[in-house]
Structure 1
């Protein structure tokens, strides 16, 4: 059958369909369980969590499903040593002052330096032993991959270019997620700037499949069985679907976020650094338009996210949706399903009709 792939067998799932592990508090235990219980692989983005929160999260997930699931972290969770100068802050404050004035709140103080939490988070993952550990923004050492194998953890690293895929394979990763520029959320580039790493999913899948031996997971621009068919015919061993699952009621996205993914606004997405300091794709809004080309005035990640947090909160309260970045990929106009179980059923049925057994 079409779904009996190497990735599915290695992970221990029925269908080679992975749910994108959303960061920024958009993941939910409920969504992870719904996807895993339906035969796919639920995923949870935990890069903002403390080790103790990760342990608590794991207990919740295991209480909701006995099936495999994926924990996701960011290898690089801080830019520019996690600090900003007074001059950088002054420049950012000047750029964004009008938006803070619009919602009637003062500018925040300069964010304090941020220390990476990845090493402590990684140890928590090794102790927990989820079936799958996926990661973004870098490679892990061969030693860490070996530790994962000894614990029965399958690793998956994200690549936005062929060079990144080769680097991941050389480090010993089990599977490679080919992240095309169509995808919603942050661009997980790590060898070059994300602005110069914008290969489309289906081209990227072919390039990686030609040069690496590890199974390739296609991510970006897939939300239907037809998309699964196309990806697998080009060499993907599995697919990772983000936006379509983000729009489901089980995700932790606010109701307005989910509604906008089904609206006409979802036809227009853009890549911007204005909200977090790292390049990511979301629904086009006023700030993303007006801040285009002014990236030198933004704080590094995650300080820009901290700087913008009060603005986002006030804009949400005042329903000023055009001041908020709602993550979403280019495939959003094709979304149909609002429940994860129905989406999974549709994906499996459509893929079964489109793919020859």
Structure 2
């Protein structure tokens, strides 16, 4: 079962126990606003907000746009207020923007902070300084304990089958080991693309599902049309796991690898030391068209509005509960 502790207030009034995961390049203010107004937490990586030298800071502009849009929605729709939003911070030594972005997010009182690739006390303290909560994504129980020991409020268990950087462990094993000692907020990621999957995550012991790939195939997403269409046309057998592109194991669309001139069934490995976020992305530009996706994409049948994805998840979630009860 989910934790016995009462969830933090930012999660209590969601339409559906779902957080839209931050997607490199793909997540932008339009997608976040659409997700939040549809009743789930929307999020984006801070590194997605980029500006050229001398231009105004894009992260400031994004946070202003999201804040103002959600305020306007709440005033116009008091009975169905928007969900809160989250910002993902890449806590990796090559992210030279981290300190600046932490200050900006604290200034804008970001309610939910998601950290990746490193658990650091000062990042959690920055979240707490403005009343936010800090969630850290992990791929095993050891990293989970380290994150909580450094002040994270909750965990995102990234299990096998998740899009992009993914862990190797079964969600059943990962969640049960974390729940042996941790009763705080726990999110589960890994091939969850249906409302039944959301309910299953809760049955295993998670509080919320962490869903990314279905939102790539949406009108609001900042993704190439061919990328969106691949999400809608392919399934789990079209996903390949490789460390070649970033130095860390991740899941990618086979057709995009083939289109880049490589054999998806004969990829070399890469060392984690090759990871570099200096230019805002973990992948070299040569592989910018190698597209990440999770194994759950078989549930995505077409490209459409983000609200339609949330509507489908909500309907499936209620139907799954009725079947079981």
Q: Judge which range, 51-60 or 239-248, deviates more.
A: 51-60
1:83-122 correspondence runs (5 A)? 116-122=96-102
* CA drift at 1:340: 1.2
Q: Report the aligned-residue RMSD.
A: 2.9
Contact 1:13 1:41 in 2 (8 A): no
**What's the TM-score, normalizing by structure 2?**
0.81
Q: In 2, are the aligned partners of 1:226 and 1:350 still within 8 Å (CA)?
A: yes
TM-score relative to the length of structure 1: 0.75
1:274 corresponds, among 244, 257, 260, to 244
Report SS of the residue matched to 2:264.
helix
Contact conserved, 1:17 with 1:239, CA < 8 A, in 2? yes
Match for 1:289 among 264, 283, 299? Answer: 264
Does structure 1 retain, via aligned residues, the 8 Å contact 2:91–2:119? yes
Residues 245 and 300 of structure 1, relative CA distance in 2, 3 Å threshold: closer
* CA distance in 2: counterparts of 1:132 and 1:282, whole angstroms: 27
Instruction: Find the residue that maps to 2:47 and give its secondary structure.
Output: coil
> How many residue pairs align between the two structures?
297
Q: Distance in 2 between matches of 1:234 and 1:266?
A: 22
Task: Show the 5 A alignment for 1:1-357.
Answer: 6-7=6-7, 9-11=9-11, 13-14=13-14, 15-23=16-24, 25-49=25-49, 52-66=57-71, 67=82, 68-76=84-92, 78=94, 116-141=96-121, 144-187=123-166, 197-264=167-234, 267-284=237-254, 285-286=257-258, 287=262, 289=264, 292-295=267-270, 299-302=274-277, 308-309=284-285, 312=288, 324-336=289-301, 338-355=304-321
Name which one, 1 or 2, has greater alpha-carbon Rg: 1
Structure 2 unmatched runs, 5+: 52-56, 72-81
Cα gap change, 1:311/1:36 in structure 2, threshold over 3 Å: closer, same or farther?
A: closer
1:289, distance to aligned residue in structure 2 (A): 2.6
